[in-house]
Amino acid sequence: MNKLEVSNLNLFYGDNHALKDISLKIPSRQVTALIGPSGCGKSTLLRTLNRMNDLVEGVKITGEVKFEGKDIYSDVDVKQLRMRVGMVFQKPNPFPMSIYENVAFGLKAQGIKDKRKLDEVVEESLRGAALWDEVKERLNSPAFGLSGGQQQRLCIARAISMQPEVILMDEPTSALDPIATHKIEELMDELRKKFTIVIVTHSMNQAKRISDKTAFFWMGELVEHGETSQVFNQPSDKRTQGYVSGEFG
């Protein structure tokens, strides 16, 4: 089943036609990687999936993005949508508060005050982000005291706490060292069992290692998409071939 379906999507930043007639199906409980050279529109596409581009002045969007069959650009509560389609950014961005409060933040904003319920979700989310064992003794310490990799897993825990169905990740490991990157990649293997994941990555090795499907973008166009092994081993377009073989990019 497809969780998200993008159809004939065009996006303009003023005169800049950043996404050109994109159609892409994103299957449930799989990892879809968006790859391509800098400026080709990967992050822009990712942000259209939970309407983050709405915040950009002068943006114009045509076409459709269906989430579970419903167009998110027509009658949809954007706040609700962003709870169901969460996001993790390139640079870990914990809030300036404790580890516990970071994870409980969204629930508290929803008006949940029951301490037992909050404790339960905080633990579950931190376990889900493979961070619990490292922080259980210091939940009330500031989140900024964690390492970069731990902070990124905290941000994943914060996203999970809202029980989203989709997690969008914009180069989530590009600010991390190889060990922290490896931990996040291992975690993604667990996350895919429960969530639909869409990840923008500059690392072709990462896309190969962690994704089920890959979509290759080139100057705002979706050139090719399909099974990751097929896109990397038998690309049908010369541009994909050039990019995945490292000729350019």
Q: What are phi and psi of 194, to 5 degrees?
A: -110, -30
Q: In the complex, what is the shortest distance from the CB of residue 41 to ligand ATP, in angstroms, rounded to a whole number?
A: 4
Q: If phi over 0 gives left and psi between -120 and 50 gives alpha, with beta otherwise, what is residue 114? A: beta
Place of tokens 């003023």: 14
- Residues of the shown chain interacting with ligand ATP in the complex, contacts defined by CB under 6 A: 13, 16, 18, 36, 38-44, 56
Nearer to ligand ATP by Cβ, of 34 and 162: the residue is 34
Nearer to ligand ATP by Cβ, of 36 and 128: the residue is 36
Q: In the complex, what is the shortest distance from the CB of residue 21 to ligand ATP, in angstroms, rounded to a whole number?
A: 15
Nearer to ligand ATP by Cβ, of 36 and 172: the residue is 36
Q: In the complex, what is the shortest distance from the CB of residue 208 to ligand ATP, in angstroms, rounded to a whole number?
A: 18
Nearer to ligand ATP by Cβ, of 56 and 112: the residue is 56
Q: In the complex, what is the shortest distance from the CB of residue 188 to ligand ATP, in angstroms, rounded to a whole number?
A: 19
139-174: b (≥16 Cβ within 10 Å) or e:
beeebeebeebbbbbbbbbbbbbbbbbbbbbbbbbe
